[in-house]
Amino acid sequence: MKNKKDGKGGFITTTLNSMLGWGRKFSLFQYPFITACCGMEYMSVACAHYDLDRFGMGWTRFTPRQADMLLVVGTITHKEAPVLRTVYDQMTEPKWVVAFGACAVSGGIYDNYAVVQGIDRIIPVDVYIPGCPPRPETIINALIKLQEKIQKEGHEWRFQKKRS
């Protein structure tokens, strides 16, 4: 498998990568790290009305070891931040993080002593979903964007540096 470094690669490599991307994006196992009000919108987007299962993300794995997408839903306070970091470290590669809601993106309306101003101060984030709380259509739009990112990300997965 030569030509790995300049990212182009031959026919077999690119087909393999796109197959990997296709497989990964349609079978995301999510771990919803729910803390606050956005959890209600997460519950309603995962249930029958705005179904997430049709995108392949139906299975909510309740343990980080079996999940590959971490959905940080709700406000993260300074007391909760080490817990979030531990959960992120417990997940195995490849993993993606989605910051769900204004509080996870940037601290939201709470700018005070107790709230972390955005989870990207602690863990690297792939997709940011704004809104307080975001509508289900926004969430689905963001998750489709994440799926496109995963599709394109199939390249060089074995040689990618561990993100932390």
Partner 1 sequence: MAISKEKILEDLKEKLSDNILDMTVQFGDDIIRIKKEALLDLVNFLKNDPYEFTMLLDLTCVDYMGEEERYEMVYHFFSLSHNLRLRFKTRLKENDFKIDSLTSIFRNANWLEREAYDMFGVHFSGHPYLRRLFMYDGFKGHPLRKDYPLRKQQPKIPLRK
Partner 2 sequence: MKYRIQEEAREDTMLINMGPSHPAMHGTTRVMLELDGEKIINCELEMGYLHRGFEKICENKTYFNMLIYTDRMNYVSPLINNTGYVMTLEKMLGIEAPERAQYIRVILNEFSRVCDHLTALAAMCMECGAFTVFLYMMKAREYIWDLMEQTTGARMTTSFIRVGGVRSDFPSDWKKTTRIAIEETRKVLKDCHTLMSKNKIFLNRTRDVAVVSPEMAINYGWTGPCLRSTGVNYDVRKASPYLVYDQLEFEIPLGERGDNFDRYMVRMQEMEQSLRMVEQCVTKIPKSSATFHEMKKGMEPAEAIKASRTKKPEEKIKLSPNLEGAEKERYPGILAGKKYVVPPKDDTYTNIEGLINHFKFFMRGHGIRPPKGEVYFAVEGGSGELGYYIISDGTDKPYRLHLRAPCLHIVSALEEIVRGHFVADIIPTFGSMNMIGGELDR
- Which residues here bind partner 1, judged by CB under 8 A? 78-79, 82, 111-114
29 near partner 2 (CB under 8 A): no
The answer to whether residues 57 and 95 touch, using CB atoms and an 8 Å cutoff, is: no
Residue of 14, 55, 80, 138 interacting with partner 2 (CB under 8 A): 80
- CB nearer to partner 2: pick between 41 and 153: 41
Those residues with Cβ within 8 angstroms of residue 11's Cβ, 6 or more apart along the chain or in another chain: none
* Residue 96 CB contacts under 8 Å (≥ 6 apart), including other chains: 28, 68, 69, 70, 126, 127, 146, 149, 150
Q: Is 47 a binder of partner 2 (CB under 8 A)?
A: yes
Provide the mask over 110-129, with x wherever binding to partner 2 is found by CB under 8 A and - wherever it is not: x-xxxx--------------
Backbone angles phi, psi at 89, to 5 degrees: -70, -25
Q: Based on the shown chain and the rule CB under 8 A, indicate whether residue 75 belongs to the binding site for partner 2.
A: yes
Looking at beta carbons only, is 54 or 79 nearer to partner 2?
79
Provide the 3-class DSSP secondary structure of residue 102.
Answer: helix
H-only helix segments in 68-120: 81-90, 102-106
C-beta of 64: minimal distance to partner 1 in Å?
Answer: 17
Q: What count of other Cβ atoms lies within 10 Å of the Cβ of residue 1?
A: 9
Interaction site with partner 2 (CB under 8 A): 33-37, 39-41, 43-44, 47-49, 62, 74-75, 77, 79-80, 83-84, 87, 109-110, 112-115, 132-133, 135
